[in-house]
């Protein structure tokens, strides 16, 4: 039984101790200054890709948001690439283009729905800009976002830039409250990773890439058009960073069921992405940010397995030593309970996703979350987004 307790402590350390140490060290790193050569006069031509599928509820708001961005019109190309929508999305876009001829907006329509990465690769051939930016239809930018983020891409070591998501409905339910707290914590980690090298997590709301380094989206077929697209940059020796200046706004579903659906899909993609990093690292093909990649492997691949082992040994100990149930009192501690709950939920989702990957289950075609009805016009105007 003594050996079982030792194992329980070891599994606990791997499950929570390592991730806790990484979290604290990255928060500390986030406070460091940027060691980059910023050029605030850098204004390259940008191609903005907006992938759509049945987005009639939000696409007009999205286009209004993009044409409001403060950047020379001659240096902006907007491409809406549609995956054969069954609603009025394409018609609404074409009507908008007719009403705003002063903006360079193009519409590409696929003959069949093949998935988001396939849509983006279809549109990539038509990009004219030095910088290619992807932005989902339900995500909205502050008007100064390009002026603030392009200086980071002037640095020769940086290959891509992303930003943190800010929720438009952080107080709508306990689900959005916990998601908001989770995002705030994870964003600090991403800032820290970026300060010491590169981040592994990119967001679909704003992901900007140097066109000369972007051969294709998700080249390793991980199912992730954002995180999966920056793997090649690490191979080529370029950094992918997350900066506060690239923040964008979006809503989040208010039900736990919808949240779980999003988390499972995202975790499935992350497991594939981290496994690809692991394989490339072993082969010696990763040229930058090896420390961050090892941290990611520990958190997203090793810790979930250790957590399952921790849970099994804890159950055995509870049956033999009932007083072990006192450890659940930690959930009552302020803040600690929340982080434990989110960690346990994340580990379970990641473990299930690992099993799904082993069974070759893959999310290639994305499913529209039930958050579009939350994107009201008055809310977007309140935030100055349209």
Domain architecture of the chain: domains with CATH: 36-256+371-382 (3.90.550.10)
Q: What is the DSSP letter of 372?
A: G
Task: For residue 366, name the pLDDT band (cuts at 50, 70, 90).
Answer: low
pLDDT in the model for residue 368 = 60
Angle (CA) 248 252 141, round 5°: 15
Angle (CA) 203 204 210, round 5°: 85
Region 17-23: what's the mean pLDDT? 90
Which token pair is 289? Answer: 């940010």
pLDDT in the model for residue 341 = 78
- Within its chain, how far is the Cα of 176 from the centroid? 17
Task: For residue 360, name the pLDDT band (cuts at 50, 70, 90).
Answer: confident
Region 201-221: what's the mean pLDDT? 95
pLDDT in tens, 216-271: 999 999 989 999 999 999 999 999 999 999 999 999 998 888 888 888 889 999 99
pLDDT in the model for residue 303 = 93
CA distance 15 to 172: 31
**Torsional sign, CA 9, 11, 16, 19:** positive
Region 91-109: what's the mean pLDDT? 96
Q: What is the DSSP letter of 358?
A: H
Longest dimension (CA), the chain: 75
pLDDT in the model for residue 114 = 87
pLDDT in the model for residue 369 = 59
pLDDT in tens, 318-347: 887 777 666 666 655 666 666 777 888 899
- Strand (E) positions, the chain? 46-52, 76-82, 105-109, 131-134, 158-162, 165-167, 207-210, 239-242, 248-250
Region 159-182: what's the mean pLDDT? 93
With beta carbons less than 8 A apart as the criterion, state whether 48 and 79 touch: yes
Average pLDDT over the chain, rounded to whole? 91
Which token pair is 112? Answer: 């069949």
Region 8-16: what's the mean pLDDT? 86
Which token pair is 204? Answer: 């679909």
Region 356-366: what's the mean pLDDT? 70
Short-list 131, 158, 161, CA closest to 71: 131
Region 154-164: what's the mean pLDDT? 97
Least reliable range by pLDDT among 47-61, 233-247, 282-296, 331-345 = 331-345
* Ramachandran angles phi, psi of 214, nearest 5°: -100, 100
pLDDT above 60 for 299: yes
Rounded to two decimals, the pTM is: 0.91
DSSP string of 5-32? Answer: HHHHHHHHIIIIIHHHHHHHHHHHHTTS
DSSP string of 284-347? Answer: T---S-HHHHHHHHIIIIIHHHHHHHHHHHHHHHHHH-GGGGGGGGGGGSTTHHHHHHHHHHHH
Short-list 166, 269, 184, 158, CA closest to 218: 269
With beta carbons less than 8 A apart as the criterion, state whether 201 and 164 touch: no
pLDDT above 70 for 373: no
With beta carbons less than 8 A apart as the criterion, state whether 103 and 76 touch: yes
């Amino acid at each position: 039984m003594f050996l079982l307790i030792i194992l329980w402590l070891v599994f606990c350390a791997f499950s929570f101790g390592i991730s806790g140490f990484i979290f604290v060290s990255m928060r500390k790193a986030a406070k460091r200054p940027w060691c980059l050569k910023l050029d605030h006069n850098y204004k390259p031509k940008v191609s903005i890709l907006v992938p759509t599928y049945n987005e009639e509820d939000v696409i007009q708001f999205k286009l209004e948001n993009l044409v409001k961005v403060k950047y020379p019109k001659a240096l902006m190309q907007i491409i809406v690439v549609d995956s054969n929508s069954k609603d009025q999305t394409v018609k609404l876009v074409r009507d908008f283009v007719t009403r705003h001829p002063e903006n360079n907006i193009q519409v590409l329509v696929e003959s069949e729905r093949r998935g988001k990465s396939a849509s983006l690769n279809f549109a990539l051939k038509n990009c004219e800009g030095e910088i290619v930016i992807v932005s989902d239809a339900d995500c909205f930018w502050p008007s100064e976002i390009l002026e603030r983020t392009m200086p980071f891409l002037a640095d020769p070591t940086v290959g891509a830039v992303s930003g943190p998501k800010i929720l438009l409905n952080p107080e709508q339910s306990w689900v959005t409250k916990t998601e908001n707290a989770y995002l705030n914590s994870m964003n600090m980690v991403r800032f820290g990773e970026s300060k010491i090298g590169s981040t592994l997590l990119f967001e679909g709301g704003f992901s900007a890439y140097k066109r000369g380094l972007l051969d294709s989206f998700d080249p390793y077929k991980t199912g992730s058009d954002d995180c999966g697209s920056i793997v090649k940059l690490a191979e080529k020796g370029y950094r992918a960073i997350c900066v506060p200046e690239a923040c964008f706004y979006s809503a989040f579903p208010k039900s736990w069921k919808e949240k779980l659906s999003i988390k499972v899909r995202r975790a499935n993609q992350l497991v594939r992405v981290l496994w690809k990093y692991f394989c490339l690292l072993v082969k010696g093909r990763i040229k930058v940010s090896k420390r961050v990649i090892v941290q990611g492997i520990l958190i997203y691949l090793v810790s979930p397995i250790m957590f399952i082992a921790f849970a099994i040994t804890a159950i055995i100990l509870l049956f033999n030593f009932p007083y072990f149930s006192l450890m659940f009192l930690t959930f009552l501690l302020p803040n600690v309970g929340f982080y434990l709950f989110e960690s346990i939920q994340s580990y379970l989702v990641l473990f299930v996703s690992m099993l799904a990957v082993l069974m070759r289950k893959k999310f290639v075609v994305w499913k529209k979350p039930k958050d579009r009805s939350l994107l009201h016009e008055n809310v977007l105007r309140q935030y100055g987004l349209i």
